[in-house]
C-alpha cells in the first residue's frame, strides 16, 4: 500500500486496521493477521476492504482461532465482544450505541455495568473503566433521585472513546451555575456528583431548564 | 488467620467479629438500599456488642461514587461518636484514583492498604492503650 493511501485509511478509521488493533491487544501481530486471513479465506470476503457485514460473518472463525492461541476463555469472550462492537456500528464509520432506561436503583447498577463492559470492549484501562463507571453512576443516580426516570445512552466513538448522554424530563436544574462553581450545599448528597463528572470527563455539557428536563453529556477518551 | 463466624449475611456484604473487632466486607455491585441496610446492621452491631474497632474492607468494591463514599464516611463518623475507631482498608488503586480526580475523599478516616495491615493496626493501638 502506498504510504499516502495508508495514511488515508488510518484517518478514515479503516475497519481492518481497527480489527487488528483490537486483536493485537490479545495476541501477537502474527497470530492476529493469520487469524484474520484464515477467517477471510474460509468465507468469501477476500476483497481488499473489510466491511461490517463481512466482519460479522468472519467473527465465529476468528473466535475459533483465538481459542487455539489463548488460554483464558474469558479473554477470548472479551476480545470477541470488542470486535462485535466494531461490527455493530450503525453506519460505516459511525458510532454504535446502547440506550438503558433508568428508573429504579437496580438500573443504576445495570447501566454502570453496561458502561464497564463497553469500555472493556473499547480498550479502556482499569482506571479508565472505573472512572467511566463512577461518572455513569452519578448521572444515573441523579435521574432516579431528582427526575424519577430517564435514560442513559452509551455511544462508542470508535476508535477514540465513549460518549455518555443522560436524559430526563424531570424538573430541570435551576441553579446550575451555583452547583458547578461548588457554592452549593446539597440536601440529599455532597453536591459533588455533577462537578465530579465534569472533572473526570474530557468533554462535558449540561443542558437543563425548568420544564425542559436535563441532559448531561460527557466524553471519555480511551485511557 | 481465623475470622470467627459470620454474624450476618446481606447482599451488601458480610459482617464478622474477631477479637471484638467488627470486620465488614463489602461486595461489588452495591445498590443504594443494600448499602443503607448494611449501615443499619453495622450500627446496631456496634450498639449491641462491646467492640474495639470497626474495619471496613473495600477490596472487592470496583467503584466508589459520591453516595457510597458518603455512606462510608458517615459510618466512620458515627462509629467514632460511639467510641469505636474505624479503619477503611483495601481501596483499589483505580478506585482511589477516581475519588481523587472527582475531588472526593474519606475525610479523616484511617485507611490501610489491606485487611492484614488494618488488623495489625488495631492490635498495635490496643497494646499502646493497655
Ligand atoms: N437530573 C436532574 N434533574 C433535576 N435536578 C438535578 C438533576 N441532577 C442534579 N440535580 C440537582 O443538582 C444538584 C446537584 O447534583 P449533584 O449530583 O452534583 O449533587 P447531589 O446529587 O446533590 O449530591 P451527590 O451527587 O454528591 O450525592 C442536586 O442536588 C439536584 O438538586
Ligand atoms: Mg448526585
Tell me the per-residue pLDDT of B51-67, one tens digit each, with 9 for 90 and over.
999 999 999 999 999 99
* CB contact set of A176 (below 8 Å; sequence gap of 6+): A206, A208
Q: What is the mean pLDDT of residues A56-65?
A: 92
Q: What is the mean pLDDT of residues B17-46?
A: 89
Predicted confidence at residue A52, as pLDDT, reads 83
Q: ipTM score here?
A: 0.88
Tell if the CB–CB gap between B101 and A112 is shorter than 8 Å. no
Q: What are phi and psi of B67, to 5 degrees?
A: -65, -50
Q: Which domains does chain A have, with CATH numbers?
A: 3-87 (no CATH), 97-221 (3.30.565.10)
> Does the structure show a pLDDT above 60 at A91?
no
Task: Pick the closest to residue A191 from A152, A147, A138, A143 (CA basis).
Answer: A138
Has residue B26 been placed in a domain? yes
Instruction: Tell me the average pLDDT of chain A.
Output: 86
Count of the separate structural domains present in chain B: 1
pTM for the model:
0.80
> Quick one: pLDDT band at residue A104, thresholds 50, 70, 90?
very high
> Quick one: pLDDT band at residue A90, thresholds 50, 70, 90?
low
Q: Measured between CA atoms, how close is B49 to chain A, in angstroms?
A: 30
Predicted confidence at residue A41, as pLDDT, reads 87
Q: Is the CB of A140 under 6 A from ligand 1?
A: no
Predicted confidence at residue B52, as pLDDT, reads 92
Give the span between the Cα atoms of A158 and A96, in whole angstroms: 8
> Quick one: pLDDT band at residue A185, thresholds 50, 70, 90?
confident
Q: List the single residue in A113, A133, A196 with the smallest CB-CB distance to B102.
A: A196
Q: What is the mean pLDDT of residues A175-187?
A: 84
Tell if the CB–CB gap between B94 and A129 is shorter than 8 Å. yes
Q: Is the CB of A191 under 6 A from ligand 1?
A: yes
State percent of chain A over pLDDT 70: 86
The position carrying cell 483465538 is A66
Q: Of the ligands numbered here, which is closest to the C-alpha atom of B102?
A: 1
Give the span between the Cα atoms of B14 and B4, in whole angstroms: 12
CATH of the domain at B70: 3.30.750.24
Residue A41 vs residue A198, higher pLDDT: A198
Tell if the CB–CB gap between A127 and B33 is shorter than 8 Å. no
How is chain A classified by DSSP, letter by letter? Answer: --HHHHHHHHHTT-HHHHHHHHHHTTS-HHHHHHHHHHHHHHSS--SSS--HHHHHHHHHHHHHHHHHH-S-HHHHHHHHHHHHHHHH-SSTT--EEEEEEE-SHHHHHHHHHHHHHHHHHHT--HHHHHHHHHHHHHHHHHIIIIIS-EEEEEEEETTTEEEEEEEE-SS--TTHHHHHHT----SSS-S-HHHHHHHH-SEEEEEEETTTEEEEEEEEE--
Q: Per mean pLDDT, which range of A69-73, A86-90, B102-106 is the poorest?
A: A86-90
Has residue B93 been placed in a domain? yes
Condensed to tens digits (0 to 9), the pLDDT of residues A144-170 reads 999 999 999 999 886 678 999 999 999
Has residue B41 been placed in a domain? yes
Has residue B1 been placed in a domain? no
Condensed to tens digits (0 to 9), the pLDDT of residues A3-34 reads 444 444 443 458 888 899 899 999 999 999 99
Tell if the CB–CB gap between A192 and B63 is shorter than 8 Å. no
The whole domain housing B70 covers 6-129
CA of B26 to the centre of ligand 2 (A): 22
Residue B53 vs residue A44, higher pLDDT: B53
Amino acid at each position: 500500500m502506498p504510504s499516502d493511501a495508508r495514511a488515508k485509511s488510518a484517518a478514515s478509521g479503516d475497519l481492518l486496521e481497527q480489527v487488528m488493533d483490537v486483536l493485537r491487544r490479545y495476541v501477537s501481530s502474527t497470530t492476529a493477521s493469520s487469524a484474520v486471513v484464515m477467517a477471510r479465506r474460509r468465507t468469501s470476503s477476500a476483497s481488499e476492504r473489510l466491511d461490517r457485514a463481512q466482519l460479522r460473518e468472519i467473527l465465529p472463525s476468528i473466535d475459533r482461532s483465538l481459542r487455539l492461541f489463548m488460554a483464558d476463555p474469558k479473554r477470548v469472550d472479551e476480545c470477541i465482544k470488542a470486535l462485535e462492537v466494531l461490527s455493530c456500528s450503525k453506519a460505516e464509520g459511525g458510532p454504535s450505541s446502547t440506550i438503558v432506561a433508568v428508573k429504579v436503583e437496580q438500573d443504576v447498577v445495570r447501566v454502570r455495568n453496561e458502561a464497564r463492559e463497553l469500555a472493556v470492549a473499547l480498550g479502556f484501562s482499569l482506571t479508565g473503566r472505573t472512572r467511566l463507571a463512577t461518572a455513569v453512576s452519578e448521572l444515573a443516580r441523579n435521574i432516579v433521585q431528582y427526575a424519577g426516570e430517564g435514560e442513559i445512552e452509551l455511544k462508542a466513538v470508535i476508535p477514540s472513546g465513549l460518549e455518555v448522554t443522560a436524559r430526563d424530563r424531570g424538573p430541570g436544574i435551576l441553579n446550575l451555575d451555583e452547583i458547578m462553581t461548588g457554592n452549593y450545599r446539597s440536601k440529599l448528597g455532597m453536591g459533588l456528583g455533577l462537578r465530579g463528572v465534569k472533572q473526570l470527563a474530557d468533554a462535558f455539557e449540561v443542558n437543563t431548564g425548568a420544564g425542559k428536563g436535563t441532559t448531561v453529556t460527557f466524553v471519555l477518551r480511551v485511557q | 488467620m481465623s475470622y470467627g463466624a459470620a454474624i450476618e449475611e446481606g447482599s451488601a456484604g458480610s459482617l464478622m467479629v474477631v477479637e471484638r473487632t467488627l470486620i465488614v466486607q463489602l461486595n461489588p455491585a452495591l445498590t443504594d438500599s443494600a448499602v443503607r441496610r448494611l449501615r443499619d446492621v453495622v450500627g446496631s452491631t456496634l450498639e449491641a456488642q462491646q467492640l474495639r474497632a470497626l474495619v471496613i474492607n473495600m477490596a472487592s468494591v470496583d467503584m466508589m461514587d459520591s453516595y457510597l463514599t458518603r455512606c462510608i464516611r458517615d459510618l466512620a463518623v458515627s462509629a467514632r461518636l460511639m467510641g469505636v475507631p474505624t479503619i477503611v482498608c483495601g481501596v483499589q488503586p483505580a478506585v482511589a484514583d477516581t475519588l481523587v480526580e472527582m475531588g472526593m475523599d474519606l475525610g479523616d478516616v484511617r485507611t490501610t492498604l489491606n485487611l492484614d495491615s488494618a488488623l495489625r493496626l488495631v492490635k498495635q493501638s490496643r497494646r499502646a492503650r493497655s
